[in-house]
Amino acid sequence: MKHLATKLALTALTLTGVSACNPHGRNTTKLQYMPDMADNPTVKTQESYLNPPDGSVTINAILYPESPAQAEQELRNPFGEGPQVSQDVRTNGKLMFDTYCAVCHGLDGKGKSLLGDAYPVPIPDITRPELVARKDGYFFLQISNGGNMMPSYAHAISPHERWQLITYLRTLQSPQPK
């Protein structure tokens, strides 16, 4: 009887010892005698430490409208539209346009690319009446997303500058005495 008790105790000790020293990572037994380092609450490779609630967005996310129509409806140029826009805003807008857009659309926006005929598709005149009628949000989305053969400029032109650029584009669309 005494023998049996000792045997049982020894077996129990050996079993717990084996489970605690599992060399293959996580413990799989419920009873942990000495939890090992692989089995702790740190974040493992490819694992997310936070399960964000549904509908969360990153704090610096910019949510763009889904379609040009929606952009025209929802987005407003913070600098306002029309002649009241200050000259400074337009000057910076011109800097942006000349830097990023003129290479393809031409300095006057009429589509005569500075690249000549090198571009594989025709480049549209963005001063034509059909586009004059579009609201600023349309241009904002086009600059942000790009098109089929037009790159996105969201990485290069901040939202603030995109609106400035659009106020300058408006002057190209309806040339005013300078």
Footprint of ligand HEC on this chain (CB under 6 A)?
Answer: 100-101, 103-105, 121, 123-124, 126, 131, 139, 142-143, 147-151, 153
Of the candidates 112, 117, 120, the one whose C-alpha atom is nearest the C-alpha of residue 148 is 120
Look up residue 24 and give its two tokens: 């293959």
* CA 36 vs CA 31, 33, 175: distances in Å: 12, 9, 74
Of the candidates 126, 99, 121, the one whose C-alpha atom is nearest the C-alpha of residue 111 is 126
Q: Which is nearer to ligand HEC, 27 or 109 (CB)?
A: 109
**How far is the C-alpha of 129 from the C-alpha of 134, rounded, in Å?**
9
Cα pseudo-dihedral 70, 72, 74, 77, rounded to 10 = 150
Q: Which is nearer to ligand HEC, 85 or 126 (CB)?
A: 126
Question: Minimum distance between the CB of residue 48 and ligand HEC, rounded to whole angstroms?
Answer: 36
Question: Minimum distance between the CB of residue 69 and ligand HEC, rounded to whole angstroms?
Answer: 13
Of the candidates 58, 71, 54, 81, the one whose C-alpha atom is nearest the C-alpha of residue 139 is 71
Q: Which is nearer to ligand HEC, 10 or 132 (CB)?
A: 132
Q: Which is nearer to ligand HEC, 100 or 163 (CB)?
A: 100
Q: Closest residue (Cβ) to ligand HEC?
A: 147
Question: Minimum distance between the CB of residue 88 and ligand HEC, rounded to whole angstroms?
Answer: 19
Question: Minimum distance between the CB of residue 63 and ligand HEC, rounded to whole angstroms?
Answer: 20
